[in-house]
Amino acid sequence: MGWLGWLGDRLSRSRGAPMDVAERLTGRSLFRVDSESVPLNDRATVQRWLRELRPEHDEQILVHRSWGSIVAVADRRGPVSVFLADDENKAWFAAVRGASDEQPLTPEQLEHVMVDALTSPGPPRWPEWRYLV
């Protein structure tokens, strides 16, 4: 799953992307993606998905809200990354405050920001969000 093209399509409000839902997308083959979704109040399931997420997977965990969407991406090419797209389709990636762009979030930091998105009235303020060109 190429996340950048797919992410724009998936997050586009004009294409009817889901809102106020969490979902997990798992690539099974070149043309097959399994999808699961849960309501935002199912924190335990989202935490389980995040704890099962590994860099070697082909998987994305998304939280869709009225203010935008956050996605944790495992794409078999590097560490798990977290991206934010707002309702104007601007995108950022999560970074450790004061660290280089290449330093990945720890599993605890990743879980913190994704779980915070389940109840946050706006995009989570932590970690540092850096604009994605």
The span from the CA of 67 to the CA of 74, in Å, is 23
Question: Taking 90 as the threshold, does the pLDDT of residue 18 lie above it?
Answer: no
The span from the CA of 118 to the CA of 89, in Å, is 19
> Looking at the 3D structure of the chain, how many domains does it have?
1
Number of H helices, E strands in the chain: 3, 7
Closest by CA to 62, choosing from 53, 73, 54, is: 73
pLDDT score, position 16: 56
Query: Sign of the CA dihedral 17, 63, 119, 90?
Result: negative
Segment 6-31 shows an average pLDDT of 71
Q: How confident is the model at residue 13 (pLDDT cuts 50, 70, 90)?
A: very low
pLDDT score, position 20: 92
**Domain that residue 89 falls in:** 3-131
The span from the CA of 70 to the CA of 132, in Å, is 13
Cα 63–Cα 69–Cα 74 angle in degrees, nearest 5: 70
The span from the CA of 29 to the CA of 130, in Å, is 32
Q: Of 15-19, 45-49, 62-66, 126-130, give the lowest mean pLDDT range.
A: 15-19
CA distances from 85 to 52, 75, 91 (A): 23, 18, 4
- % of the chain exceeding 70 in pLDDT: 86
Tell me the pLDDT tens digit for each residue of 28-87.
887 899 999 999 999 999 999 999 999 998 999 999 999 999 999 998 888 999 999 988
Question: Taking 50 as the threshold, does the pLDDT of residue 4 lie above it?
Answer: no
Cβ-count burial 53-85 (b if 16+ within 10 Å, e if not): beeeebbbbbbbbeebbbbbbbbeeeebbbbbb
